[in-house]
Amino acid sequence: MRLKFYIPIIVCLLFVSLSALKLAPKRIIFFGDSITQAGVKPNGFITQLENKLKSPDYELIGAGIGGNKVYDLYLRIEEDVLQKNPDVVVIYVGINDVWHKQSKGTGTDYDKFIQFYQKIISKITDGGSKVILCTPSLIGEKKSGENELDADLDKFADAIRELAKKNNLPLCDLRTLFTDYEKTHNKSNLDKNILTTDGVHLNDLGNKLVADNLLPFLK
């Protein structure tokens, strides 16, 4: 008799639990620098992705801070990523690690970049979240090889490609996508105003290119 009394309660609790699991949105954190920080603006790539994905099923969180390099991401990963228990983390960093060598006399040594990037990957995957890597896009929009920092940026992009392969992670190769786009559409070989406002930070079209190419990874 006692078992019969509890069966409806157990069934009800199971139904509530299954419903909660079904309704829980997929939480995606975008972890990066000022490009990611601007991604939450009305025409930013994160906002564009929100418009493409159904919001009850997905929760998109921007965790970008202007000027950040890979070491900065490592220092704030606990509070800005791990404590939020994301399902997926999109890492988009590397521009400042190269650019700041020229603009501020800082930047990141190549070996250190790889070491800290790997530590970030390990911390996130050890926490049970999936990771998507992005190569850095542009520092100058002239044809590939004609911008001052192209060689360094390509080297750091190659490092991220190798990290994706080593850790068996999906890669959104923005470096290739952006340089291919410039090759086709930048007929006047301008250094900005095709996909960026200043050679680095994305304009509406640049944000759309990122959103369109990240979308298949997130569905």
pLDDT in tens, 180-202: 999 999 999 999 999 999 999 99
pLDDT of 7 reads: 53
pLDDT of 18 reads: 42
Domains of the chain by start residue, with CATH? 26-218 (3.40.50.1110)
The whole-model pTM stands at 0.88
Query: Angle at CA 163, nearest 5°, toward 158 and 165?
Result: 95
The whole-angstrom separation of Cα 9 and Cα 5 is 8
Q: What is the pLDDT of residues 157-178, one digit of tens each?
A: 999 999 999 999 999 999 999 9
Q: What is the pLDDT of residues 27-40, one digit of tens each?
A: 999 999 999 999 99
Span between the terminal Cα atoms of the chain, in Å: 48
State how far the alpha carbon of 72 is from the alpha carbons of 66, 94, 134, 169, 174, in Å: 10, 11, 17, 22, 21
- Strand-pairing partners, residue 147, are none
Q: What is the pLDDT of residues 60-80, one digit of tens each?
A: 999 999 999 999 999 999 999
